[in-house]
């Protein structure tokens, strides 16, 4: 028998060394350990894992399945140190077939109505900040977490470069910016400094209180704006999501390569690095749901076949 909290610390340290961040996992596993201790147990059992995973009562089965998967991985780790630890079977609480969301690709008009919808916020600083991060995500394809983690010093307006530090899988990268993006950021900082001269946070994007933006608040703001802008779901799996600004950037980048008759393979490799993907293969998903892109690819293929001897 080993102390579960000590084992959790070792487990998180090991997995974070591999590049995982695990904030949500840590929160869930602390709750799981509380559940085990409240039951008066000293080790993990399948029954305890199942009873914890099945909370709240009446919850969605896929939610229960995800919770059990988190507990199972931890139990498997603890089992290597304490053979008395039970590892829940993989066929317990199956979550059903997983369906990946279909990207909601935004048009220029969609972006425009989102920016206009931001005027609903009472604080001028909040309006300005919201409009700026929406535009930055749209023209760089950055992850939301990357954008709100940016400090002011990470933006070099003279060189026209943003540095993203230690993002997914511990990767850092530099993002060259279009001159119009540089000017937009310069305008934002000028107005931001006028409205809030000495914010307590070094963050690039700040709240009305001068603090760093929170992911949950940014996500909720985007949902509100999408509703206000009248953006409707195109199907059950295709709804307006903040992450789809990243999908839209990727699709537009490759469409531009086809329209300008550029080397798509080279553009795809550059796009993969720009997005911070580990491998170009991870970028293909971003390009799988755009009829215009598939049509352009088909035309190029037909032309290539016609020109072949």
201 DSSP assignment: S
Concerning whether 35 is annotated as a catalytic residue, the answer is no
Helix, strand, or coil here: 164? Answer: strand
Please pick, among 21, 168, 173, 239, the residue that the annotation labels catalytic: 168
Strands (E), the chain: 155-156, 161-164, 173-176
Concerning whether 286 is annotated as a catalytic residue, the answer is yes
Concerning whether 247 is annotated as a catalytic residue, the answer is no
Please pick, among 67, 126, 143, 149, the residue that the annotation labels catalytic: 143
Residue tagged 């704006």 (tokens): 225
Please pick, among 106, 188, 274, 286, the residue that the annotation labels catalytic: 286
Contact 157, 186 (CB under 8 A): yes
Comparing CA positions, the residue from 46, 96, 105, 98 lying closest to residue 71 is 46
Q: Cis (ω within 30 of 0) for the bond into 56?
A: yes
Please pick, among 21, 73, 152, 243, the residue that the annotation labels catalytic: 243
Please pick, among 72, 126, 149, 246, the residue that the annotation labels catalytic: 246
Q: What is the dihedral of CA 21, 285, 73, 61, to 10 degrees?
A: 110
What's the CA gap between 129 and 195, in Å, rounded? 11
Concerning whether 15 is annotated as a catalytic residue, the answer is no
Concerning whether 188 is annotated as a catalytic residue, the answer is no
Report residue 5 as tokens: 């909290």
What's the CA gap between 275 and 150, in Å, rounded? 15
What's the CA gap between 31 and 70, in Å, rounded? 11
Contact 199, 210 (CB under 8 A): yes
Residues annotated catalytic, as ranges: 143, 168, 243, 246, 277, 286
């Amino acid at each position: 028998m080993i102390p579960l909290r000590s084992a959790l610390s070792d487990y998180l340290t090991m997995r974070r060394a591999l590049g995982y961040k695990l904030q949500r996992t840590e929160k869930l596993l602390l709750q799981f350990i509380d559940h085990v201790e409240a039951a008066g147990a000293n080790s993990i059992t399948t029954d305890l894992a199942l009873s914890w995973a099945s909370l709240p009562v009446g919850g969605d089965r896929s939610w229960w399945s995800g919770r059990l998967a988190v507990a199972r991985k931890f139990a498997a780790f603890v089992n290597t140190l304490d053979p008395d630890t039970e590892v829940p079977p993989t066929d317990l609480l199956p979550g059903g077939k997983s369906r990946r969301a279909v990207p909601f690709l935004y048009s220029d008009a969609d972006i425009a109505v989102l920016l206009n919808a931001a005027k609903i916020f009472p604080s001028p600083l909040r309006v300005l900040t919201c409009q700026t991060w929406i535009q930055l995500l749209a023209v760089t394809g950055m992850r939301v977490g990357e954008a709100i983690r940016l400090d002011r010093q990470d933006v070099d307006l003279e060189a026209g470069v943003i540095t993203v530090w230690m993002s997914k899988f511990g990767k850092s990268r530099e993002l060259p910016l279009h001159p119009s993006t540089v000017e937009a950021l310069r305008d934002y900082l000028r107005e931001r400094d006028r409205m809030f001269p000495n914010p307590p946070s070094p963050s690039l994007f700040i709240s009305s209180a001068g603090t760093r933006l929170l992911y949950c608040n940014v996500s909720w703001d985007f949902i509100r704006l999408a509703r206000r802008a009248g953006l409707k779901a195109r199907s059950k799996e295709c709804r307006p999501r903040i992450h789809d600004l990243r999908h839209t950037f990727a699709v537009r980048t490759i469409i531009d390569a086809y329209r300008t008759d550029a080397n798509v393979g080279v553009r795809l490799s550059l796009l993969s690095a720009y997005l911070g993907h580990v491998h170009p293969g991870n970028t293909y998903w971003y390009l799988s749901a755009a009829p215009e892109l598939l049509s352009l690819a088909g035309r190029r293929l037909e032309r290539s076949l016609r020109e072949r001897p």
